[in-house]
Amino acid sequence: MRGPLSLEELERRKLELEKVIKELKEREREICLKHEKAKKIEDEIYRRLMTTRDDMERAMLEVKLIRIKEKRKQIEEELEAVRRKLRGAESEYEKVSRAIEYLKPKGGFRVEEV
């Protein structure tokens, strides 16, 4: 295991974590948009499935519904993985921020004139 990090290393790590958190939040937003789109498609297919009377169309819609459900579940798993990474990065960011606060000098130097 590594020893304690210096203040400069902690500052550098904090900047890296800020970048990672920003990227993960952007990725989470993209995946949420994909999830919403897949959910809308699934709802539309389900609505059409419930209103159709044609057996051929019903079979085709059932296959589409199964595929879109699988796709949505994959997107949900990917979203959960990104959220776990984001929580971990934010937790580490907080730890690094506390370590930096601890290592920074609290007061300034006083110059007393005699």
- Interval 24-49: pLDDT, tens: 999 999 999 999 999 999 999 999 99
Indicate whether 58 belongs to any domain: yes
Indicate whether 32 belongs to any domain: yes
Mean pLDDT of 82-94: 96
Indicate whether 95 belongs to any domain: yes
Helix 55-103 × helix 7-51 angle, to 10°: 160
Indicate whether 31 belongs to any domain: yes
How many distinct structural domains can be found in the chain? 1
Average pLDDT along the chain: 91
Query: Is the pLDDT confidence value at 108 over 80?
Result: no
Name the DSSP letter for residue 4: P
Res 83: pLDDT: 97
- Nearest 5°: phi and psi at 10? -65, -40
Indicate whether 64 belongs to any domain: yes
CB distance 39 to 33 below 8 Å = no
Mean pLDDT of 85-100: 93
Indicate whether 19 belongs to any domain: yes
